[in-house]
């Protein structure tokens, strides 16, 4: 590990934004470039090509996108392009983000049906299969990792069930807290759409909406009977743009965020310099270590099912009698920034640790030894016995 | 002028992205911060407060916003929040961007009527007044500076006419190539909505959609009969967020682009360190110099009406027999990046020079002496006689 060029700062170990590498931050400070200069076209084109690798995608009928916006914008893309007004969407619920995705689908005239599980769990494959047989769903949406609960969904199995029971239904994955940390084999698992954001396991500052659409999804979009119900989120506007940039040709719809795209390329190069399998394994190791340590402290996780827990974050219930207002500032004083709860029904009862990106892959940083020690010391300070 | 920290690079003198200051680029490289940390809340809150100053806004019923996205996203905000399906919008046409704004309004169910002028001109105030009397328009949209033609609109006079003839109609300004270079007195001129992007005269890398809504506009939005027809662009989602950040409190809808907001604050501090009147005057001086020099070269402008020309850019017709493919690469070889044409009907016949931001305000840089010399030398090289 070379000494970081970054000013000393508290360690941000939340489920995004994560810590960034020096190279990524330097790319954010790239001097001005025209968005249609050969230099930038090459950078954007390379970033799109590397995004394919991140998704194990080689099928060229699929198309990756990176546009200025929040991860949330990916929901608008799905709701306004892949679903026509009045059509049904099955929303698999594993926390806060499914409610929001359902809201978004409603805003564009789609009809979401939520299949819920108790907090901390995920709907069973059997329940999903039964629900799929009831109606003709245009899309099924799955939150791969629900950042509000840390529940991990089994997108491979869900996609297989959809293909078996309702083959024309599009499989849409919200991969905001999963892409870059959880395995996603886009082609092989026959997924139709994954949306994500850069500030999680992709290791790039927030400001991009990143997504990939399958050939099947693009065909569904192209054969819509009604017009697309958005403008900035319209695939009709963006598809020719990203196709042009990937072919290293200029195109214009809305000025791309030049510096953020430079940062995306810088991070993708770092991520793909080692096999993705090794990256996933490193995140599993860190996740197991964080989770077992937390359990050794006597604390329990919001995600309650074995095998259904995210590898990029851990949601931890507070001990009885300890509040977030007591605990988090003490951890913060020790230089570690963690996150409070997000799921409305239990928000005050738990905190969240993010373990993604360079904090995981550069073990010499010792970020989680520091974080776990800070948590332990702070718990002891508020009177909890470990 | 202290020596720049930026690596040597071609001067980007297009109508955005513009050249950035070192301080802005350093802010883009801010190490990771939680989007709800006290540090970032303070930065975002300060940026919103300074945005008010940029618009000469003191009326607190108005609200500025800065969200991740392209400038284009501001159109979606207008079309999906301020216009209900079936309602009429009057779109004043001064180039390419009015066509796109009209497209956007249509996507959300509004009914745009375009009032057009010949290329390089703007609709007369009389024509606007007559049109306003014909129908009950929910909004009038004006492109303050059409980046495709360099035509400047008289938004103060248009707003005054709207208030006289159709007082309930909302005055919406596309200020993408104007905010920070052209005078906009939001409160005094009684404007309802201005949308812009950071990579023009605000001097911040692309990646933000910045807008300000009047109390009247927010009331119209709040009293909608039909639901908002977007999700990511919904004012209902963002209003509580920016209100919270401006009050220095945490809030969450979609993770804000932390680094871009830091850069926005850095640039706004630099911009507002001198009176805005001085900034506008500096841009007028540079614009006059560029335009008179170009005319002295025997070239004419796309924006053909005196007093209706932008001060942040100049659109220049090529001499007969000279092509963009001959001219721009020669200028580029001299280290100056200019832009080609954008207005479909005449795109191959003109080029565009951007003169906004630090290239204008830091005269010691000599950016336009270099650019005008490069244009002259390149014209001579292709056989044009000056």
Average pLDDT over residues A363-369: 96
A40 touches chain B (CB under 8 A): no
What are the 10-residue block averages of pLDDT along chain B, 386 residues in total? 77 98 97 97 98 98 98 98 98 95 98 97 98 97 97 98 98 98 98 98 98 98 97 98 98 97 98 98 98 98 96 98 97 98 95 98 96 98 94
pLDDT band of A1, cuts 50, 70, 90: very low
A78 touches chain B (CB under 8 A): no
Taking 90 as the threshold, does the pLDDT of residue A343 lie above it? yes
pLDDT band of A4, cuts 50, 70, 90: confident
A259 touches chain B (CB under 8 A): yes
- Distance (Å, rounded) from C-alpha B37 to C-alpha B23? 22
- Distance (Å, rounded) from C-alpha B323 to C-alpha B289? 24
CA A181 to chain centre: 9
- Distance (Å, rounded) from C-alpha B223 to C-alpha A34? 42
Q: Give pLDDT, residue A3.
A: 61
Listed in sequence order, the residues at least 6 apart from A384 whose beta carbon sits closer than 8 Å to its beta carbon are A319, A322
CATH 3.40.640.10 residue ranges of chain A are 22-271
A258 touches chain B (CB under 8 A): yes
Q: Give pLDDT, residue B3.
A: 61
- Distance (Å, rounded) from C-alpha A174 to C-alpha A176? 6
CATH topology of domain B22-271: 3.40.640
Q: Give pLDDT, residue B5.
A: 81
DSSP state of B253: S
- Name the pTM for this structure: 0.98
How close does chain A come to B67, measured CA to CA in Å? 8
Q: Give pLDDT, residue B1.
A: 42
CATH classification for the domain delimited by A11-20+275-381, as one of 3.90.1150.10, 3.40.50.1220, 3.80.10.10, 3.90.550.10: 3.90.1150.10
Taking 90 as the threshold, does the pLDDT of residue A2 lie above it? no
Q: Give pLDDT, residue A386.
A: 87
The sign one gets for the Cα dihedral A270, A273, A279, A282 is: negative
Average pLDDT over residues A106-111: 98
DSSP string over B29-62:
TPPP--TTSHHHHHHHHHHHHHHHHHTT---TTS
Stretch 9-28 of chain B: residues touching chain A, C-beta under 8 Å: 9-10, 12, 14, 16-20, 25-26, 28
What are A115-168's pLDDT values in tens digits? 999 999 999 999 999 999 999 999 999 999 999 999 999 999 999 999 999 999
- From the list B192, B162, B157, the residue with the least C-alpha distance to B175 is B192
In chain A, which residue's Cα lies nearest the Cα of B203? Answer: A32
Q: Give pLDDT, residue B386.
A: 87
Answer yes or no: do B104 and A231 touch at CB < 8 A: yes
| Nearest CB to A227; choose among B107, B197, B252 | B107
What are A51-98's pLDDT values in tens digits? 999 999 999 999 999 999 999 999 999 999 999 999 999 999 999 999
CATH 3.90.1150.10 residue ranges of chain A are 11-20+275-381
Distances (CA, A) of B10 to A14, A157, B283, B334, B337: 39, 51, 21, 8, 6
What are A222-271's pLDDT values in tens digits? 999 999 999 999 999 999 999 999 999 999 999 999 999 999 999 999 99
The sign one gets for the Cα dihedral B77, B81, B82, B87 is: positive
The pLDDT > 90 percentage for chain A reads 98
Answer yes or no: do B25 and A26 touch at CB < 8 A: no
SS3 A216: helix
Q: Give pLDDT, residue B271.
A: 98
How close does chain B come to A133, measured CA to CA in Å? 29
In chain B, which residue's Cα lies nearest the Cα of A207? Answer: B257
């Amino acid at each position: 590990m070379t000494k970081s060029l970054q000013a000393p700062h508290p360690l941000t170990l939340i489920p995004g934004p994560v810590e960034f590498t020096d190279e990524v931050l330097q790319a954010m400070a790239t001097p001005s470039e025209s968005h249609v200069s050969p230099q930038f076209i090459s950078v954007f084109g390379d970033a799109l090509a590397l995004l394919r690798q991140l998704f194990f995608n080689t099928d060229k009928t699929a198309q990756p996108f990176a546009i200025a916006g929040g991860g949330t914008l990916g929901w608008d893309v799905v709701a306004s392009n892949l679903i026509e007004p009045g059509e049904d969407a099955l929303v698999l619920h594993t926390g806060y983000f499914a409610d929001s995705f359902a809201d978004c689908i409603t805003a564009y005239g789609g009809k979401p049906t939520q299949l819920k599980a108790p907090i901390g769990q995920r709907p069973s494959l059997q329940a999903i299969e039964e629900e799929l047989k009831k109606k003709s769903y245009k899309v099924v949406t799955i939150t791969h990792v629900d950042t509000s609960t840390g529940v991990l969904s089994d997108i491979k199995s869900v996609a297989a069930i959809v293909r078996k029971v309702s083959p024309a239904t599009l499989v849409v994955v919200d991969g905001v807290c999963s892409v870059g940390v959880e395995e996603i084999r886009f082609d092989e698992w026959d997924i139709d759409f994954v949306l994500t954001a850069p500030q999680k396991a992709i290791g790039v500052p927030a400001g991009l909406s990143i997504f990939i659409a399958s050939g099947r999804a693009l065909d569904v979009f192209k054969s819509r009977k009604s017009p697309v119900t958005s403008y900035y989120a319209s695939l009709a506007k963006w598809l020719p743009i990203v196709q042009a940039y990937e072919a290293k040709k200029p195109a214009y719809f809305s000025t791309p965020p030049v510096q953020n795209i430079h940062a995306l390329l810088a991070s993708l190069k770092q991520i793909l310099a080692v096999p993705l399998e090794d990256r996933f394994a490193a995140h599993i190791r860190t996740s197991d270590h964080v989770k077992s340590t937390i359990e050794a402290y006597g604390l329990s996780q919001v995600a309650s099912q074995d095998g259904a827990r995210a590898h990029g974050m851990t949601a931890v219930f507070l001990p009885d009698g300890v509040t977030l207002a007591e605990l988090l500032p003490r951890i913060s004083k020790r230089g570690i920034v963690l996150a409070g709860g997000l799921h409305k029904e239990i928000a005050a009862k738990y905190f969240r640790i993010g373990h993604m990106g360079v904090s995981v892959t550069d073990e010499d940083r010792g970020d989680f030894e520091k974080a776990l020690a800070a948590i332990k010391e702070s718990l002891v300070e508020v009177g909890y016995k470990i």
